[in-house]
Structure 1
Amino acid sequence: MSAAEKRTAEDRLPGDPTKAQLIDRIIRVDHAGEYGAKRIYEGQLAMLKGKPEAAVVRHMYEQELQHLKEFERLMVERRARPSALTPLWHVAGFALGAATALIGPKAAMACTVAVEEVIDEHYREQAEKLGADEKPLQATIERFRAEEVQHRDTGLAHGAEQAAAYPVLTSAIKAGSRLAIWLAERV
């Protein structure tokens, strides 16, 4: 049992979200993240037309579309509000995908690795916070987490670590991804 599950409503710490606020945040940030992933892959696909790597990216893109569709459904079902920063994710996601793909296919794969490593950690933390009464949402997050890990592994298998300035590139993308998560949870 996680620390969040052990804590009851009476012993919440100041600033801790209520259960309803936690669910709203989880759905909002995950919707924003899947929307951003969709845009990253659209940017990469636009720059990788005609290259063999486009088929690999397209497969990951199609999985992200399914994730996005599920979070759109959950937003309606759970009456969660979307991130007010969606227009930013629209532009920034495409720009990140296009820029990394312009550097080269390996840089595009490095982008995937960086983003998916952050998402793996993020989804794991979310699953731990959800209580026993949220098993369906927890199962959805765990299923998507497994697919995101597959995307990371695909990126590694397709030469991500061979990208120019891999440590610098992935560190910058990870920092941006963590900032985007923090913002999307709140705004």
Structure 2
Amino acid sequence: MTLDKLIIEFDKGLRTLLAPAQSARPLPGRNLPEAALSDADKQHAAALMRVNHVGEVCAQALYQGQALTARNPDTKAALDEAAREETEHLAWCEARITALGGRKSLLNPLWYSGALAMGMTAGALGDKWNLGFLAETERQVEAHLHGHLDSLPAADAKSRAVVEQMKQDEARHADTAVAHGGRALPKVVAGLMRAASKVMTATAYRV
């Protein structure tokens, strides 16, 4: 990797962790009224959106690592496009965390570093496994977001609109990865990914 490329990738990481994310698309649910939630419901919704924000931080790192080691230009383009939409998700989650009076995870640098290493490893295994890893990741995120729709306060229509749009985007990313030739991962690998995700979500809900 050239020095220029290394600087660019380092800058991406700093912007993900430190700079406010930007979205080309409008915030879903922007025209809906802010619900009058109890303190407990507001704290719960903010914690769930913090978990989602951590997921998007990890997505940025995963796609960055995968794109760095992808061999096929089409594969790299698919990863870059997904990363752009994940940046929008990052911005949406930040907006809801702020509106709900919450905070982002204190462990974001740790989550980012681990996800970047995983992404680079997946990319090094070859494009078909790289895309298969992307597809499995997105399917698990989609299922995770479905669970959040069940758990978010029913009155918090603004957060629910954000999560619903994210869920649709993640499903499309998974379909795109399969269409580009992604292979189904071994069940044991998918199971390990789910176990790691449970640890991350349980921790991010509180920290």
TM-score in terms of structure 1 length: 0.82
Deviation at 1:83, TM superposition (A): 1.2
Match of 1:55 in 2: 77
Moved over 6 A (4+): none
Give, as a single letter, the amino acid of the residue that structure 1 aligns with 2:175.
Answer: D
State the shift of 1:157 in Å: 2.0
Structure having the larger proportion of residues in helix = 1
Q: Please tell me whether residue 148 in structure 1 is matched to residue 148 in structure 2.
A: no
Q: How many residues align?
A: 170
**1:174 corresponds to which letter in structure 2?**
R
Secondary structure in structure 2 of the residue aligned to 1:83: coil
Q: What RMSD in Å do the two structures reach over aligned CA positions?
A: 2.0
Establish whether residue 175 from structure 1 lines up as the match of residue 195 from structure 2: yes
- How far does the alpha carbon of each residue in 1:82-122 deviate from its partner, in whole angstroms, 9 at most, with x for none? 11211111101111111100011122212212222221111
C-alpha displacement of 1:49? 6.1
1:177 & 1:158 partners in 2: Cα distance? 25
Give the match for residue 157 of structure 2.
135
1:2-81 aligned at under 5 Å gives the runs 18-48=40-70, 51-81=73-103
After TM superposition, give the deviation of residue 184 of structure 1 in Å. Answer: 1.1
Asked if 1:95 corresponds to 2:117, the answer is yes
Residue 107 of structure 1 contacts residue 166 of structure 1 at CA under 8 Å; is this kept in 2? no
Distance in structure 2 (CA, Å) of the matches to 1:100 and 1:174? 16
Per-residue CA distance 1:15-71 (angstroms, 9 max, x = gap): xx9312211211110111111101100111111266321011111111001100111
Q: Are the counterparts in 1 of residues 75 and 131 from structure 2 also a CA contact under 8 Å?
A: no
Q: Residue 102 of structure 2: SS of its match in structure 1?
A: coil
Is 1:158 matched with 2:174? no
* Distance in 2, Cα, partners of 1:132 & 1:170: 31
Once the two structures are TM-superposed, the CA of residue 132 in structure 1 deviates from its matched residue by: 3.5
Farther-moved stretch of structure 1 (68-77 vs 56-65)? 68-77
